[in-house]
Amino acid sequence: MITSNRVRWHLGRVISRQFETGSAVRLELAVPTWPGNDAGAHLDIRLTAPGGYQASRSYSLASSGESTRVVLVVQELPGGEVSPFLVRQLAEGEEVEVQGPLGRFFVWIPAEPEQSPVQLIAGGSGVVPLFSMASARERELSFGCCTRSAVRAMSSSLTNWQSSHEPSSRLSTRASQHLERAGHLDG
Amino acid sequence: MTVINSGFGGRGGSSDPRLPPGQTHVYDWPVLSTGPTPNVDESRWSFTITTEDQVAHRWNWSELQEVGVEDIVTDIHCVTHWSKLDMAWRGVPIDRLFEDVETSYDYVMVRSYGGYTTNLPLEDLLDGQAWVATEAEGEPLRPEHGGPARLLVPHLYFWKSAKWVRGMEMMPSDDPGFWEQNGYHLRGDPWREERYW
């Protein structure tokens, strides 16, 4: 349980970047002062332009535990200000400022003996914090996600998750053509 | 320790002076919620202020309207980094609701239908700083935005402006509400970037 750490700013360096889909990138950051985070936590990224202009956004973490490596999966919002930079431009070796770990409500703390079945449900990029929850749980788990075809359920990460957790866990994905607004937090 | 991200241009590269630090101007009105939207009909809505003497000051929907509404134009700032500028609101001033309330306590726990809570010092609710809002942008407040009535405290981050508000309870100390127990700042002044603790 990592909830007692105070939130502060840290300096992170991009260790690796890998496209999960055509418009979503998996970023692994080395953050030497990161205190670790609970599954489901998020962080703020702050970018500073050469002229001093700053922009901050919150992103869910796909990683958890007491590690100084943190993993994000960022979905590009067309016409957005920050996500296109993170998805298309932020290079390996480049530094960014991050604040966290954030969030003590939507977190998974596997403290009790886990008896009851769990169903995780996500839409689009909402699947990201569930990765960290899924990997924090050893027992049976059912994982459903519903995405637009463009997102494709962060395909490679999900495939990896599935192969390492079967047969005790189930993965169901449903790519719906009807969710015109899926993936955008406005509901 | 500011790091310059040399490839980052930002949108225009300058900020509106009405935007607190770390905020981005949005034109839509995002909705963030931790659970289902309570379905609160005006006919069963009421608002109650409870004091340390267990005196309850209660208004039903029509009684609230009779207290008298004000029109407000204000900016709102969400801790998730978006701000919406020049919003038109209509609501009943909290000052009016406290006219007959006798209390020696300095803090308030705001309670909502659905169980949400948030804490505020009384001095952040008085002197024309807060309202029970019933309309936004010229229309009755929709349920997803807290209708039929939400608290409006625009000088603090918007989680303080509790949706589906149903009452206030006086407190002797500044006990944390829902988000305040979950990592968010006890007061939440956007100009001082009081987001987390």
Residue A176 confidence class, pLDDT cut points 50, 70, 90 = low
Which of A187, A40, A17, A168 lies closest to A89 in space, CA to CA?
A17
Q: How far apart are CA A150 and CA A145, in angstroms?
A: 14
Interface ipTM: 0.84
A32 touches chain B (CB under 8 A): no
Nearest to B196 among A7, A51, A55 (CB): A7
What would the pLDDT profile of B130-181 be if each residue is shown by its tens digit?
999 999 999 999 999 999 999 999 999 999 999 999 999 999 999 999 999 9
Residue ranges per domain, chain A? 4-102, 118-175
Percentage of the residues of chain A whose pLDDT score is greater than 90:
47
What would the pLDDT profile of B26-48 be if each residue is shown by its tens digit?
999 999 888 889 999 999 999 99
Q: Helix, strand or coil for residue A158?
A: helix
**Chain A closest-CA separation from residue B9 CA (Å):** 6
pLDDT of res. A167: 66
Q: Does domain A4-102 have CATH number 3.40.1390.20?
A: no
Q: Determine phi and psi for A138, rounding to 5 degrees.
A: -90, -30
Q: Determine phi and psi for A73, rounding to 5 degrees.
A: -125, 115
What would the pLDDT profile of B10-29 be if each residue is shown by its tens digit?
876 567 899 999 999 999 99
- Which residue bears the tokens 């495939």? A159
pLDDT of residue B49 exceeding 90, the answer is: yes
Burial label for A80, CB within 10 Å (0-12, 13-18, 19+), is middle
Contact B43, B91 (CB under 8 A): no
**Structural domains of chain B in order of their starting residue, each with its CATH number:** 45-192 (3.90.420.10)
Percentage of the residues of chain B whose pLDDT score is greater than 90:
91
List CB contacts (< 8 A) between B80 and chain A.
58
**Chain A closest-CA separation from residue B195 CA (Å):** 10
Percentage of the residues of chain B whose pLDDT score is greater than 70:
98
Q: How far apart are CA B29 and CA B83, in angstroms?
A: 9
Q: How far apart are CA A85 and CA A49, in angstroms?
A: 11
Residue to test with chain B: of A57, A77, A107, A109, most B Cβ within 10 A: A57
Query: Which amino acid makes up residue A103?
Result: G
pTM: 0.87
Summarize the confidence of residues A4-24 as an average pLDDT. 90
**Chain B closest-CA separation from residue A7 CA (Å):** 6
Q: Helix, strand or coil for residue A39?
A: strand
Q: What is the mean pLDDT of chain B?
A: 95
Q: Do A50 and B4 touch (CB under 8 A)?
A: yes
Range from A119-133, A140-154, B80-94 that averages highest in pLDDT: B80-94
Instruction: Count other Cβ atoms within 10 Å, centred on residue A156.
Output: 14
Which of A169, A170, A175, A133 lies closest to A153 in space, CA to CA?
A175
First-to-final CA distance of chain A: 31
What would the pLDDT profile of A35-90 be if each residue is shown by its tens digit?
999 999 999 999 999 988 999 999 999 999 999 999 999 999 999 999 999 999 99
Nearest to A187 among B7, B8, B31 (CB): B31
What would the pLDDT profile of A106-146 be if each residue is shown by its tens digit?
888 876 666 677 788 887 788 888 888 887 766 666 767 66
Q: How far apart are CA B190 and CA B180, in angstroms?
A: 15
List CB contacts (< 8 A) between B194 and chain A.
none
Q: How far apart are CA B88 and CA B99, in angstroms?
A: 25
pLDDT of res. A181: 43
